Amino acid sequence: MTETATATTARHVPADLSSRIQHYIDGQFVDSTDGDTFDVLDPVSNQTYLQAAAGKKADIDLAVAAAKRAFDDGPWPRMLPRERSRILHRIATIVESRDTRLAELESFDSGLPITQALGQARRAAENFRFFADLIVAQADDTYKVPGRQINYVNRKPIGVAGLITPWNTPFMLESWKLGPALATGNTVVLKPAEFTPLSASLWAGIFEEAGLPTGVFNLVNGFGEDAGDALVKHPDVPLISFTGESSTGQLIFANAAPFLKGLSMELGGKSPAVVFADADLDTAIDATVFGVFSLNGERCTAGSRILVQREVYDEFVERYAAQAQRVVVGYPHDPATEVGALVHPEHYDKVMSYVEIGKSEARLVAGGGRPDGFDTGNFVAPTVFADVSPEARIFQEEIFGPVVAITPFDTDADALALANNTQYGLAAYIWTNDLKRAHNFAQSVEAGMVWLNSNNVRDLRTPFGGVKASGLGHEGGYRSIDFYTDQQAVHITLGEVHNPTFGKSPTPPHEEIAEAAENEDG
Ligand code: NAD
């Protein structure tokens, strides 16, 4: 039986909650040009609690035009990095000072447990601080060719960046893109996820208060196939940074192709956590329980496939299942809650359908349905399947909920083959005390990020991103700066101009032409 939190009230509605959300374009809150709206539900009651403006192409056109004006004629791209940095630091300070309110709204809108939403609000502030610092420390390359040339990199913002984000940790993931896009001097149009527009609507006020110039930040709410699609296909948006499902990423890739846009894709995952028999089992169990059930399991880097070496398999499964049953499912606003409510009834249905599929594919050892005491709302008991075969759908497909598949293995080679046996390649977690094995495994596993004897803890300087169907390109640290800037190379001749003379002599200077061609790229 899953333990449940004893919350006194089932649904906590934050005070002063607005009943409508508008777009924010060129410094103004506005409705959609056609007046259309969509319902936003809270995941505990699944009742509509507000109407959000449903943006379409016309709204995206207005937002992109405002962002382009701010880029072409406004001060933001031309400011000293130090001046932009000061504004970014102010944004971070404001976010920090409102972390409790932000967490309350985020938790209400998304169903994330309040304690975890609070951590995500602080991480959002940290993202702004980090890029505020990085942009003033930015160094670029200069190359000297003695007596001949100096070459230097003139790094420039690119223009209007289109930022498209998912619902799982909305505010934090938006900060992840907004921080570097703004730090580098671009202007932006943000299209947040339609399930969770609440926290995104706070950015406008925060940015205004911090002194961000008008038109630099624009927000259009709406559905992916309307507002998102129009942003991807807008000719004045040269960059799209997208986080979401792999299938959506494929579609965006195709839609952006005729425009040859810069794309950064952070996509889905089905990451392995590999537990060798020599691992510290207590820590490995704690970490793998947290690794899949934190953030309601709605976590791209969740270790949702646990591979366990046969010698410790039975013990691991028994202890893991017992601990999973003790995970506290509860109302999102309750600080005792460890797993809250899934974001939306559509997503709840998807996760529950995988729970049913799992029952026909593997051995259910914990959860498997609604937790006791929660007859309504999107609550799913932490669910554990053991003896999962690599062909099973619950081994191969991203569920994005509190559901985990456990599979035994015998040798290092078996573990590696199992770990790599999905279309995804986002993260991998390895639990062993054997140094050589840890590093050899880390270097062979098909994953953009590997944690050895560690949960998902990332220093903001390190690259973030996946391989295979989990993404394209890496963000994080200076890699984000690279994505949001153009590195123009400037070459200056210092000495004599080195080019062979064409068209002056009946006999072309063969040797001179060959020597010049050696230093040219076509
Ligand atoms: P999603 O792909 O359904 O939607 C993401 C965003 O894309 C939303 O804003 C949506 O409106 C928009 N969108 C949808 N169709 C579009 C289209 N045709 N054109 C333009 N925009 C469109 O994803 P989701 O369900 O919101 O989020 C969950 C997914 O995100 C999971 O697969 C998860 O693994 C992934 N994710 C990845 C990372 C990462 O960093 N790799 C981080 C968080 C979440």
Q: What is the CATH number of the domain that holds 345?
A: 3.40.309.10
Query: For the chain, what is the mean pLDDT?
Result: 95
Q: For residue 193, report the distance from its CA to the centre of ligand 1, in Å.
A: 8
Q: For residue 245, report the distance from its CA to the centre of ligand 1, in Å.
A: 5
Query: Which atom in ligand 1 lies closest to the alpha carbon of residue 466?
Result: 41
Q: Are residues 173 and 79 in the same domain?
A: yes
What is the tens place of the pLDDT at every residue in 433-449? Answer: 999 999 999 999 999 99
Confidence class for position 4, pLDDT limits 50, 70, 90: very low
Q: Are residues 150 and 292 in the same domain?
A: no
Domain count, the chain: 2
Q: Which of 104, 266, 398, 446 is catalytic?
A: 266
Helix (H), strand (E) at residue 240: strand 239-243
Q: Are residues 209 and 98 in the same domain?
A: yes
Q: In the numeric block, which tokens belong to residue 401?
A: 């909920």
Q: Cα separation of 262 and 276, whole Å?
A: 41
Q: Are residues 211 and 307 in the same domain?
A: no
Query: Which atom in ligand 1 lies closest to the alpha carbon of residue 251?
Result: 18
Q: Are residues 252 and 187 in the same domain?
A: yes
The CB density around residue 511, as the number of other CB atoms within 10 Å, is: 8
Q: Are residues 123 and 175 in the same domain?
A: yes
Confidence class for position 3, pLDDT limits 50, 70, 90: very low
Contact predicate 295/284, CB 8 Å: no
Confidence class for position 8, pLDDT limits 50, 70, 90: very low
Q: Are residues 179 and 327 in the same domain?
A: no
Nearest protein Cα to ligand 1, atom 34: 268
Range of the domain at 378: 272-425+427-459
Q: Which of 298, 300, 338, 475 is catalytic?
A: 300
Q: For residue 268, report the distance from its CA to the centre of ligand 1, in Å.
A: 8
Q: Cα separation of 402 and 341, whole Å?
A: 10
Ligand 1 and 52: CB distance under 6 A: no
Ligand 1 and 252: CB distance under 6 A: yes
- At 515 the pLDDT is 78
CA dihedral sign of residues 354, 359, 362, 367: positive
Tell me whether residue 303 is in a domain. yes
Q: Are residues 140 and 252 in the same domain?
A: yes
Q: For residue 213, report the distance from its CA to the centre of ligand 1, in Å.
A: 29
Ligand 1 and 107: CB distance under 6 A: no
Confidence class for position 223, pLDDT limits 50, 70, 90: very high
Is a pLDDT exceeding 60 seen at residue 1? no
Mutate to test the pocket of ligand 1, among 40, 164, 220, 301 (most ligand atoms within 8 A of CB): 164
Mutate to test the pocket of ligand 1, among 229, 300, 304, 396 (most ligand atoms within 8 A of CB): 300
Q: Are residues 363 and 407 in the same domain?
A: yes
Ligand 1 and 196: CB distance under 6 A: no
Phi–psi pair at 93, nearest 5 degrees:
-65, -40
Q: Is 3 one of the catalytic residues?
A: no
Q: Cα separation of 264 and 216, whole Å?
A: 20
Tell me whether residue 2 is in a domain. no
Mutate to test the pocket of ligand 1, among 174, 234, 243, 347 (most ligand atoms within 8 A of CB): 243
Q: For residue 499, report the distance from its CA to the centre of ligand 1, in Å.
A: 52
Ligand 1 and 400: CB distance under 6 A: yes
Ligand 1 and 267: CB distance under 6 A: yes
Q: Are residues 158 and 294 in the same domain?
A: no
Confidence class for position 7, pLDDT limits 50, 70, 90: very low
- At 2 the pLDDT is 42
Ligand 1 and 230: CB distance under 6 A: no
Tell me whether residue 308 is in a domain. yes
CA dihedral sign of residues 291, 292, 294, 299: positive
Contacts of 370 (CB under 8 A, 6+ apart): 379, 380, 381
**pTM here?**
0.96
Tell me whether residue 506 is in a domain. no
Tokens 């049913």 belong to: 356
What is the tens place of the pLDDT at every residue in 475-522? Answer: 999 999 999 999 999 999 998 887 788 888 777 778 878 877 787 787
Tell me whether residue 291 is in a domain. yes
According to DSSP, residue 476 is labeled S
Q: Is 300 one of the catalytic residues?
A: yes
Q: Are residues 261 and 312 in the same domain?
A: no
Ligand 1 and 229: CB distance under 6 A: yes
Tell me whether residue 470 is in a domain. no
Q: Are residues 331 and 263 in the same domain?
A: no
**CATH code of 114's domain:** 3.40.605.10
Mutate to test the pocket of ligand 1, among 248, 264, 464, 480 (most ligand atoms within 8 A of CB): 248
Tell me whether residue 89 is in a domain. yes
Ligand 1 and 343: CB distance under 6 A: no
- At 9 the pLDDT is 56
Mean pLDDT of 198-210: 97
Contacts of 172 (CB under 8 A, 6+ apart): 120, 121, 123, 124, 127
Tell me whether residue 510 is in a domain. no
